[in-house]
Chains A and B, each alone.
Chain A
Amino acid sequence: MKEWLKKHDTLYFMLTNKRFVGGMIFILSMVTLAILGPWLAKIELRWYLENGVKEALDPTANIGIPYSPPSSQHWLGTNSFGQDVFLQLVYGLRSSLLIGIIGGGLATFIGLVVGFVSGYSGGMIDELLMMLTNIMLVIPTMAVLIIIAAYLPYRGVMIESVIIGFTGWPWTARAVRSETLSLKSRGFVHLARISAVKPMRIIFGEIAPNMLSYVFMVFILQFGGSILAAVGLDFIGLGPTRGTSLGLMLQQAVLWNAIQLGMWWWIIPPGAIITALVAALYTVNTGLDEAFNPKLREM
């Protein structure tokens, strides 16, 4: 195994990089928590289920006694409405990760396409696309998000992700464009052109695969960025009108004076998870940077 790894430098450096491995372990454990969450909740709330409280597994259901601190019945206590904090946390984590994947994925995808096409084609197309990108960059994103979100009467996690994805791509586009510009002048692109290979195939068959590591890093950054953006939206009250999310939990906790009432179990867990998750994503990103960039590798 070790011998095989040594033949694949990048993989070897990835798996021996403390930042990458540490960050990844945390992220994966959060993903596991999100996946196993509902099942764990069944164990947590078994008393309610045994007593026939059917809506116990609905995170918005007011099932418990309000203001109770953590106990064996409510692992993370209840909030002012008697909702189970652990249950909310698990579902909130799910929606935050979903927003990260969909919002981050969408932003990465749009950024890649715009960046590739702009960088490769040059000329008029490039100037138009870059004009659009720059306009998107200077418009305050939060303001756009507020306006769009306010116009939609019903907002789910999906719509929130899409909004975030459509506003988060410009810097990715610019970075991908400049990377494409430098790859475009490489010999193998010229060689493909004099083999009469079609432009789209050159972009996606020759240039893009060389940027896989880079794209991976961009996605991770966008993933973290989307989660943060969603928390921001939730916090100012423009989050999902249905369901729950980590940002929404924070917003309600602040709204109902959780801090003043000393209800730390309502505010610390979602806050800590968001902070740690985003921090872990950035750590993974720096770890990857070290693994992909031979100059930064530590021997």
Chain B
Amino acid sequence: MDILKVDDLKVYYKTLRGSVKAIDGVTFTIRKGEVLGIAGESGCGKSTLVNFFVLPKEPMYHAGGSVILEDKDITKLSKDELRKIRYEKISIIPQYSMDALSPTKKIRVIIRDIMREHGRHVDYRLVEERLEMVNLSKRVLDMYPVELSGGMRQRATMVVSTLLNPKILIADEITSALDVSTQKFVIEMLMGFMEKKIVDSMVFITHDLSILYQIATRVMILYAGKVVEIGPMEEVIKRPVHPYTKALLYSLPEMNVRFKEKRLEGIPGHPPHLLNPPRGCRFHDRCPIAKNRCEEEEPPMIKVGEDHYVYCWEVKA
């Protein structure tokens, strides 16, 4: 069952030199009970996409398409209506969640304010229970965010974001600043929220496919503001179809290859500027199998397997 349906969404940034087309026609759904991974390199639009769901802020603007959450198009909602949805329906643990909490308020006050905004009272038994889930003692409630370490602040943010049992929890690059050993705990804690049915579905954004592989059920790969491949995690990793996904997977050192034995290769060139993105397929100038048509026309969506789709001219169904 789909909780959220995104159709041909376009999100641009206004700049002095014109519009930066950060998300340019993206279509996908988020299903109940799944962890959808969104992967891509910096500047592919993955953070823009989810921040648009939660906090569309200047200079970001909606340039087309729809985002349907429970029969409502959230692109048409006012700021106040969006604020109501936040935390209750859709919630985010932001990229710099270490700094997401207001430094001048105690954690207790932060929680109370958010609850008040949604017309609820604070159930401290529940709060303490949740804190325990992320390995924080209830003493944290009477501390200021500055008194906590970066990791503790991040976990406090996790509790705050999930207190109202949102349908969808978005985790935006939350592991990229962490050490390997802590990465694993944080992800295990997130999975705890899923198992206890505190959140229905999760969107996990990262540039690191191997982390995604540990938790995601489906994966969507973005390149320069467009979807290139979307499908079941296991299948995309084991049988990638799009040339970009293939090249990306081939470029990752994986603790099973050594330079002396097998030389990995990166992808030549770099992603296009989104101020004036190229016509046709956005990957064509770096693609090893690109034909003339790829430079001219946008690639079609091709079904390559059960629930597995690729946007490419050179791929057969």
Contacts and interface: CB of A to CB of B under 8 A. Distances in A.
A–B contact (CB under 8 angstroms):
yes
Interface of A: 6, 9, 12, 299
Contacts of A299: 14, 58-59
Contacts of B16: 6, 9, 12
Q: Which 7 A-B pairs have the closest CB atoms?
A: A6-B16, A299-B59, A299-B14, A6-B17, A299-B58, A12-B16, A9-B16
Contacts of B17: 6
Nearest to B17: A6
A12 B17 CA distance: 12
Nearest to B18: A6
7 contacts: A6-B16, A6-B17, A9-B16, A12-B16, A299-B14, A299-B58, A299-B59
Interface of B: 14, 16-17, 58-59
A299 B14 CA distance: 8
A9 B17 CA distance: 10
A139 to B, nearest CB: 33
A143 B181 CA distance: 60
Contacts of A12: 16
Nearest to A13: B16
Q: Which of B14, B16, B17, B59 is packed against the most chain A CB atoms within 10 Å? A: B16
Contacts of B58: 299
Contacts of B14: 299
A297 B58 CA distance: 11
Contacts of B59: 299
A299 B60 CA distance: 11
A6 B275 CA distance: 15
A299 B12 CA distance: 15
Nearest to B16: A6
A50 B59 CA distance: 65
Nearest to B59: A299
B16 to A, nearest CB: 5
Contacts of A6: 16-17
Nearest to A7: B17
Nearest to B15: A299
Contacts of A9: 16
A9 B16 CA distance: 8
A9 B15 CA distance: 10
A42 B286 CA distance: 75
A15 B16 CA distance: 14
Nearest to A12: B16
B19 to A, nearest CB: 12
B153 to A, nearest CB: 22
A198 to B, nearest CB: 36
B20 to A, nearest CB: 13
A84 B59 CA distance: 56
A291 to B, nearest CB: 13
A29 B58 CA distance: 37
B94 to A, nearest CB: 17
A299 B18 CA distance: 12
A9 B14 CA distance: 14
A6 B16 CA distance: 7
A70 B14 CA distance: 55
A274 B14 CA distance: 41
A299 B16 CA distance: 8
A12 to B, nearest CB: 7
B36 to A, nearest CB: 32
A185 B185 CA distance: 32
A299 to B, nearest CB: 5
A12 B14 CA distance: 16
A12 B15 CA distance: 13
B259 to A, nearest CB: 26
A299 B58 CA distance: 9
B209 to A, nearest CB: 28
A293 to B, nearest CB: 16
Nearest to B14: A299
A299 B59 CA distance: 8
